[in-house]
Chains A and B, each alone.
Chain A
Amino acid sequence: MRTIINKIIEKFNRNEARLMDILLDVQAEFGLISGDAVTLIAEGLNISSVDVQQTISFYHFFSQKSRGKYTIYLNDSAVAYMMGRADIARTFEEECKCKFGSVTEDGQIGLFNTACIGMNDQEPAAIINGIVFPKLTESCVKDIVNGMKEGKSVPEMMGELGDGENSNKLLNSMVNNNIMKTGSVLFSDYKNGTAINKLVTMTPKEVIGEVKASHIRGLGGAGFPTGMKWDFCSMAEGDERFVLCNADEGEPGTFKDRVILTELPNLIFEGMTIAAYAIGAKEGILYLRQEYHYMKAYLESVLDKLREENYLGKDIAGKIGFNFDIRIQFGAGAYVCGEESALIESCEGKRGEPRNRPPFPVQKGYLQKPTVINNVETLCSVVKIIENGGEWFSMMGTKETAGTKLLSISGDCKYPGVYEVEWGIRIRDMLEMVGGEEAYAVQVSGPSGICISKKDFKRTICFEDLPSGGSIIIIGKERNLIKDIVCNFMDFFIDESCGSCVPCRSLPLILKNKLQKLLDGNGVMSDLTDLENWSKNMKAANRCGLGQTAANPILSTLKNFREDYEALIKNKEKDFDTGFNLDAAVAASCEAVGRNPQI
């Protein structure tokens, strides 16, 4: 063990900032990171053991105990449940004779829940030893578990491969792209390298000017003007600069980056190269969520090809002195690492705790150097902006939101998948497009976004009306909004907070318990006021976007679906709050003394 671990540490130059990679390699090698391994890593990096442990214990996919020869991570997003996740989970438990969150007695199979894996268009889905199994049925679960009992390898149990590049030997994946609508930016015809060849004829200032002229805003959710971000970064003081691409895609319900990563990876890397040229960076990092580990070999091969073609490396596209290269950094299961400063911390091998701002990443980012972080889709759009000009791009979309947007649409609709639409699309038109006219509610922009009712279906998706990072979840009439959706979202935030800020660590659970109290029929009207008042504190008091939006599922449904809440309160006049069912609580003692419980 010592030699293997030392080798891994050497591979990363005994660099503490590469702790994530070291841990990922150790976990891949041994299936777990044991106490002895922790000691060896701590020694090798000359840090304390608790410093190694703090990183390990932060991430969902690291484990200090064995999670089985076969490790099954079953998605538990709200949409997975809509698509029959409960039956699939039950079948796994019956077949394995073991509960979720544990490993079979013989140590062979481990069953674990996991947050949205970016497959909402093909749920229920699980990741088994790194391989995605979409559209699970009870019979395929039985086959899989039988295969495991026979000792088959996971690839042996795979079914039909997915569409597009998914059947590429290096991807070899059962995932489907489900590209339902292509638009004029991301999916326009493009010859690889065109933008880079043009790029090197421009000055960095001209590049930033073109991006500014396009009026493109970040497509990862926050909508910050990209040109301005690059400009700030290029002006910030620093001897080195970095470009980071955010492919963490953690917001439940989005899966558009997954499709870009499989079908248009060239665009991502070209986009990063353009950003590098604009700000003067030599190094770039693609931060990729662990759930997409199956893309590793494929993406590495794309990078290799770019290096061969001199679109990465030294003197790119013949431009003397333009040097830039990209490495892939995997995450290990933490939604908060999609937040830009947490992403940086994670790239530095630490816990994914968001930083305080100021300073902003453009001033002090990765390794405290000026850093640009952009979403996958933003960088791809920039390639087309350089190719066709900023003005071309700015003509699309709405007044304040130029261009197109990839929507990831899932839930109760006929045609889930990704759709490239112009900003400004009306919710009603979108529902028609996807066969979701019957919707009771639409969750725009994932759990951290808002839940709208019919009266708002005339509204439009754009930053001046309903902003969206791309996740659209359609909720049908048959769903119990509070139980199936709001509670599921709250559970997500309860697990995914980094734990730093008191309100973000504490309140979501308190709020969720209150919802449960209402669902149990023990609520009173003042509970609704409490929910509202307490939720408001989340927005005001927390450090990052996660905590600031974590009460949105409650706030937006309280606003738009208040009747659903009131329907849970049996006696609206009741002004005292027992918080529990008094009759049931005293039933046993009443029976013992032979009295009727009557209060």
Chain B
Amino acid sequence: MRLSADVCVVGAGAGGAVVAAELAEGGADVVLLDRGPRHNPDDLTARPPEMLARLYRDGGQTVTLGSPPVGLPLGSGLGGTTLVNSGTCFRTPPAVLARWAREHGLELDGGVLDPCFERVERALSVGPVTPELAGRNAEVARRGAAALGWSHGYIARNARGCVGSGVCAYGCPASAKQHVGITYVPRAEAAGARVLTGAAVERIAVAGGRARGVEGLRTGRRRVALAIDAPLVVVAAGTVETPLLLARSGLGAASGQLGRNLSLHPATAAFARMDEVVDMARGVPQSLYVDEFAADGIMLEGIAGPPAHAALALPLTGAAHAEAMADYRRLAQFGLMVSDSSRGSVRSVAGRPLVRYDLCDADLARFRTGLARLRELFETAGARAVHLPLPAGVEPRRARRRDLKLMAFHPLGTARADASAERGVVDGDLAVHGVDGVHVADGSVVPSSLGVNPQITIMALATRLALGLLAT
């Protein structure tokens, strides 16, 4: 199969879908490719194992190598990881943009990104969760934070007509979450973009220092070779896959930074046994944040889900686990995310990504403090018992790396942006250094951890890239 276009966009997640729609609406002839399928909302079942198998790469079982291992779930298909995310929307903190200006020569501070944030937020119907929709799980944490005098608030989300189904991470059965698969992708198609699923890009074709298109495989009833001829290629395959695709194509390696500088926002969660009925799966799972300790790199955010979700995460075994699960209706859960200084890497082993990440001392200290804060939050809210994600008898201040049970949802940085070709893979306009016509628009360009959830940052950067390309 061979097609030609003005622009080929690889990956239909947070970055790729936005670039494709903006370019197509601006008059460009766009082909948008994604390795995963087009998910039918009628097939969403609100059952965690089945949805993990269908909506996530490798069933959500991707794990980093290192100390400690970190679960790293990634979405797959039209919408990418936005299909399964919690819908939390934060703009890039101004202090982070100022640091990027100082450390990476990126001119994105001083309100430069504001029009892009506004454009994205409009497209995704971003607005704050109401206390009623936030549910009783959030109310437990809100009560604790208020009593302690900790800064907190209801989260802004990309949702329309949300009824608090409680299964954001397993696909929204009401299509209330405005993920890019039901917002930007249809806009791209309406503007004439051709969207191909089951299209795995193997390499970017380059000749004479310029992009010529991409090559790959289309899976379906038959596997067929796929080639797209295009003078402009936008890579948006996500932080784990983009560096591998660039490396396979012999691009972006000159600085020595390709595949490095991986930040993750490692996270964990605690449970509390309450006297009141919580029914954590009724309401928006991630509806409240506590940012009292954000300056120390510690952010507390809601998390919740159906019994199967809780059973998988509950840090108990045997009879204690069964007893706590019998009390599921009175269980509350809240999460802790660290703005990490640790840095990992991604490389290819036997054609598959191998993610290496070791938690540094500073981040271990953040987890120790954060876990103690989570316990304080729940105890102040009236918990009968708090179950921290630590082995029995281990106090937060004594926790070792191997005691932590970590997940991460925000991989960033493996093709980082830096104005200098010696320090970054892409420049401030997200063009790959050393080649013409290849850009990157996904989490991989984000040069440091953000301290907040990244989808709006990624989409705003993608918007800026698209509008910039249309203007040239």
> Is the A/B pair a real complex?
no
